[in-house]
Amino acid sequence: MALFRKIKQTISLLRNVDLDALGKISQKIDLPQVMAAVGELDDRQLQGLMKMLKSQSKKGQHKLPPIDGDFYDLSLKLSPEQREIQLKVRNFMEDEVKPIANDFWNRAEFPHHIIPKMAQLNICGMAYEGYGCPNQTFLMEGIMAMELARVDVSISTFFGVHSGLAMGSIYLCGSEAQKKEWLPKMQRMECIGAFGLTEPEVGSAVAGGLGTTCRQEGDEWVLNGQKKWIGNATFSDVTVIWARDEVSNKVKGFLVRKDTPGFTAEKMQDKMALRTVQNALITLSDCRVAEADRLQKCDSFKDTAKVLKMTRAAVAWQAVGCSRGAYESALKYTKKREQFGRPIASFQLIQNHLVEMVANLTAMQTLCFRLSELQDQQLLTDEHASLAKVFCSMRTRDVVSRAREVMGGNGILLEYDVARFVADAEAIYSYEGTKEINSLIVGRAITGYSAFVS
Ligand SMILES: Cc1cc2nc3c(=O)[nH]c(=O)nc-3n(C[C@H](O)[C@H](O)[C@H](O)COP(=O)(O)OP(=O)(O)OC[C@H]3O[C@@H](n4cnc5c(N)ncnc54)[C@H](O)[C@@H]3O)c2cc1C
């Protein structure tokens, strides 16, 4: 009879259990271990424990909910290993970058001293196979871009140029020998890369009209022209330069090593966004590059576009990170800041801004999550990547401006972080294809008509 009663009690207990909540708890604590420990308590000890928990939960009723921009708990979809990588990167950004981010941004300098510690995270070439790369998913690559941007969009951009654009060009367009030479040392961040496509006179129209030229002379190529906006190029060990062949008119890619005669990179001054990123104006004057350093698997701009398609998804995730950083800072601020004797977070109009922010952020995150799933299933198209880039960079402008608004005057002070996100959102909006260019790509896909100027 006693056994029957116990079974009945257990069944009625289980009926009351919120299985979803239990699932969430089991992600955070070792549930079997806790159950085993509870099982060893006698009745009196159990009653004492229940009393204690009840009184703690009553106290907790007055606690404010945690600040977290992952409203739909997307991180629960990650495996424990992936979650560990995410938290490792978050800790690095919070401990090593956040304390210095505003200062370096203000001085427009790059914090070179963080590179060795960043290398230890082992996140370069996240989704690439071989050559010392982690062989993780593109979803993780996106999550990384978000985590870096959540604290500092400049560091996320430095990383995206190195690991995405530069390593990605070699990974997709390099020969086996080129991959073996460059990728392992770039993965360890012993060697930093840059990516030179945009020019002073040619931005959106790079697909059809590069002004930088290359001409073959024996087993060398001669490069002439200029590149503008090239991130990391003032200190990079290798810069991928895209140039138009004077004979075939086709685009070719070159690995231009640091200190090559005829290659100069001048730091661009007075940017109002991503000030920590070192963007350069590159001049190529009869710059000679060996045929062995021409990207052997690039035959035309179509190959360059493959690199851009791969990295555009990470830029959409960067926008998520920028929004998340701004939203989390603003939410924290509104809970602390009091006016009229109450936290401003308790005002209806402030809550309206916060809800608009978290709604946009959640829409962006879920969209990017699906985008990365498509990428991991090798189903990603140009228009998928472009739609995410357009949507996320537009919504980010809205989120950061609301974040700035709920902070009043402090919203324009660097020390409150949001001002930096407001400025940096402008760079995300324009690079890796402007809103108009990415819209034209999506528009062509959904209507069947190309509205590009030919
Ligand atoms: C901070 C930053 C970092 C960057 N880093 C790099 C880098 O590392 N490497 C690199 O190669 N490049 C880099 N870029 C360059 C970036 O990719 C270009 O800025 C971008 O492609 C737009 O080119 P553009 O600035 O010349 O604008 P433009 O092409 O001159 O465009 C000006 C305006 O005209 C619109 N427009 C152009 N064509 C059309 C059309 N057909 N229909 C409708 N509207 C149109 C554009 O959308 C835009 O609004 C960076 C840019 C920034 C701002």
> Hey, CA dihedral for 166, 233, 439, 393, is it positive or negative?
positive
Q: Which pLDDT belongs to residue 4?
A: 64
Q: Are 321 and 160 in contact (CB under 8 A)?
A: no
Ligand 1 probe mutation, 201, 230, 430, 435, most atoms within 8 A of CB: 430
pLDDT band at 29; cut points 50, 70, 90: low
Question: On the CB side of 259, how many CA atoms lie within 13 Å of its CA?
Answer: 0
Least-confidence region, from 33-42, 175-184, 331-340, 354-363:
33-42
Give me the pLDDT at residue 357, please. 98
Look at residue 46 in the predicted model and tell me its pLDDT.
Answer: 73
Does the C-beta of 265 come closer than 6 Å to ligand 1? no
CA of 436 from ligand 1 middle (Å) equals: 10
Residue 42 pLDDT: 73
**Average pLDDT rounded to a whole number, residues 95-106:** 98
Residue 129 token pair: 């196979």
Q: DSSP 3-state helix, strand, coil percentages of the chain (rounded to 5)?
A: 60, 15, 30
Nearest to 39 by CA among 10, 17, 65: 10
pLDDT at 24 over 80: no
The confidence band for 169, taking pLDDT boundaries of 50, 70 and 90, is: very high
* Phi and psi, residue 413, nearest 5°: -100, 130
Q: Would you identify the CATH topology of the domain 194-293?
A: Butyryl-CoA Dehydrogenase, subunit A; domain 2 (2.40.110)
Tens of pLDDT along 409-453? 999 999 999 999 999 999 999 999 999 999 999 999 999 999 998
Verify whether ligand 1 is closer than 6 Å to residue 230 (CB atom). yes
The DSSP element (H or E) to which 263 belongs, if any, is strand 263-267
Using a 6 Å cutoff on CB, does residue 241 contact ligand 1? no
Q: Is 80 exceeded by the pLDDT of residue 22?
A: no
For ligand 1, the distance from its centroid to the CA atom of residue 341, given in whole angstroms, is 47
pLDDT at 165 over 90: yes
The chain-wide mean pLDDT, for the chain, equals 92
- The pLDDT value given to residue 343: 98
Q: How far is the CA of 432 from the centre of ligand 1 (A)?
A: 7
pLDDT grade, residue 76 (50/70/90)? very high
Question: Quick one: pLDDT band at residue 208, thresholds 50, 70, 90?
Answer: confident
Q: Is the CB of 161 under 6 A from ligand 1?
A: yes
Region 82-103: what's the mean pLDDT?
97
Q: Is the CB of 318 under 6 A from ligand 1?
A: no
Selected residue with higher pLDDT from 247 and 54:
247
Least confident residue range of 91-100, 176-185, 202-211, 290-299: 202-211
CA-to-CA dists, residue 57 to 54, 120, 130, 232, angstroms: 5, 40, 50, 51
Mean pLDDT of 31-52: 71
* 190 Cβ neighbours under 8 A, 6+ residues apart: 119
- pLDDT at residue 209 greater than cutoff 90: no
User: Percent of the chain having pLDDT more than 90?
Assistant: 84
Q: In whole angstroms, what is the distance from residue 169 CA to residue 165 CA?
A: 6
Report the nearest atom of ligand 1 relative to the CA of 197.
Answer: 11
Query: Bridge partners of 214?
Result: 223, 245
Q: What confidence score (pLDDT) does residue 47 get? A: 73
Q: Kindly give the number of the ligand 1 atom that is closest to the alpha carbon of 433.
A: 21
pLDDT of residue 66: 82
CATH fold of 301-447 reads Butyryl-CoA Dehydrogenase, subunit A; domain 3 (1.20.140)
434 lines ligand 1 (CB under 6 A): yes
d(CA 50, CA 454): 73
What's the whole-number mean pLDDT along residues 155-168?
98
**pLDDT range class, residue 57, cuts 50, 70, 90:** low
The residues spanned by each domain of the chain are 74-192, 194-293, 301-447
CA of 179 to the centre of ligand 1 (A): 29
Higher pLDDT, 25 or 292: 292
Question: Which residue has the CA at smallest separation from atom 19 of ligand 1?
Answer: 431
Q: How far is the CA of 203 from the centre of ligand 1 (A)?
A: 5
Determine whether the shortest distance from the Cβ of 361 to ligand 1 is under 6 A. Answer: no
Confidence of residue 210 (pLDDT cuts 50, 70, 90): very high
Contact of 452 with 440, CB cutoff 8 Å: yes
At 64, the pLDDT band (50, 70, 90 cuts) reads confident
In the block, which residue shows the tokens 């209507």?
A: 447
Query: Model pTM?
Result: 0.88
Band (61; pLDDT cuts 50, 70, 90): low
Band of pLDDT at residue 361, cut at 50, 70 and 90: very high
194-293 and 301-447 share one fold: no
Per-residue pLDDT tens over the stretch 296-306: 999 999 999 99
Cα 144 from Cα 375, distance rounded (Å)? 15
Cα 91 from Cα 19, distance rounded (Å): 30
- Smallest Cα–Cα separation from 345: which of 368, 327, 371? 327
The rounded distance, in Å, linking the Cα atoms of 190 and 13 is 58
CATH superfamily ID and name for 74-192: Acyl-CoA dehydrogenase/oxidase, N-terminal domain (1.10.540.10)
Atom of ligand 1 nearest to the CA of 273: 1
Cα dihedral across residues 193, 196, 198, 199: positive or negative: positive
pLDDT band at 15 (very low <50, low <70, confident <90, very high): low
Q: Is 436 in the pocket of ligand 1 (CB under 6 A)?
A: yes
Residues in the chain: 454
The answer to whether the beta carbons of residues 122 and 92 sit under 8 Å apart is no
Taking the centre of ligand 1 as the mean of its atom positions, its distance from the CA of residue 433, in whole angstroms, is: 6
Residue 55 has pLDDT above 70, yes or no: no
| CB distance 386 to 433 below 8 Å | yes
DSSP letter string over 407-419? TGGGGG-GGGSHH
Confidence band for 400, pLDDT divided at 50, 70 and 90: very high
- Which pLDDT belongs to residue 144? 97
Q: What is the mean pLDDT of residues 170-179?
A: 98
Q: Inform me whether the pLDDT recorded for 178 exceeds 60.
A: yes
Closest-CA residue, ligand 1 atom 31, reads 204
